[in-house]
Amino acid sequence: MNIPVHIGIIMDGNGRWAKKRFMPRQVGHRQGGENLRKLAYEVEKLGVKYLTVYAFSTENWKRPEEEVSFLIGLLREKIQEYIDDKDKNNMRINCIGDLTCLDKKTQADIEHLKQITKNKTGLQVNIAFNYGGRGELIRAVKKMYNDLLKTNLDVNNITEGILEKYLDTSGIPDPELIIRTSGEFRTSNFLLWQSAYSEYYITDKLWPDFNKDDLMEAIKKFNERERRFGGRK
Residue 15 touches ligand IPE, criterion: CB under 6 A:
yes
Q: Closest distance between ligand IPE and the C-beta of residue 39, in Å?
A: 14
* Nearest Cα residue to 94 out of 119, 64, 115: 115
Contacting residues toward Mg ion, per CB under 5 A: 12
Q: Which residues lie closer than 8 Å to 148 by C-beta, 6 or more apart? A: 155, 158
Residue 10 touches ligand IPE, criterion: CB under 6 A:
yes
Distance of CA 129 to the CA centre of its chain: 8
Residue 204 touches ligand IPE, criterion: CB under 6 A:
no
Question: Annotated catalytic, 60?
Answer: yes
Asked if residue 47 lies in contact with residue 32, where contact means CB atoms within 8 angstroms, the answer is: no
Strand-strand pairing, 124-131 and 199-202: unpaired
Residue 186 binds: one of Mg ion, ligand IPE, none (C-beta under 5 to 8 A by kind)? ligand IPE
Question: Alpha helices of the chain — where are they, by DSSP H?
Answer: 14-20, 25-45, 65-84, 104-117, 133-151, 160-164, 212-224
Residue 55 binds: one of Mg ion, ligand IPE, none (C-beta under 5 to 8 A by kind)? ligand IPE
Taking residues 45 to 84 in sequence order and writing x for each that binds ligand IPE by CB under 6 A, - otherwise, the string is ---------xxxx--x----------x-------------
Within 147-186, the residues that bind ligand IPE by CB under 6 A are 182, 184, 186
Q: Of these residues, 12, 109, 168, 174, which one is catalytic?
A: 12
Question: Annotated catalytic, 12?
Answer: yes
Q: Which amino acid would we find at residue 114?
A: K
Taking residues 183 to 202 in sequence order and writing x for each that binds ligand IPE by CB under 6 A, - otherwise, the string is -x-x-x--------------
Dist CA 128 CA 116 (whole Å):
19
* Nearest Cα residue to 82 out of 42, 128, 31, 116: 116
Residue 11 binds: one of ligand IPE, Mg ion, none (C-beta under 5 to 8 A by kind)? ligand IPE
Catalytic center residues: 12, 60
Binding site for ligand IPE (CB under 6 A): 10-16, 54-57, 60, 71, 182, 184, 186, 188
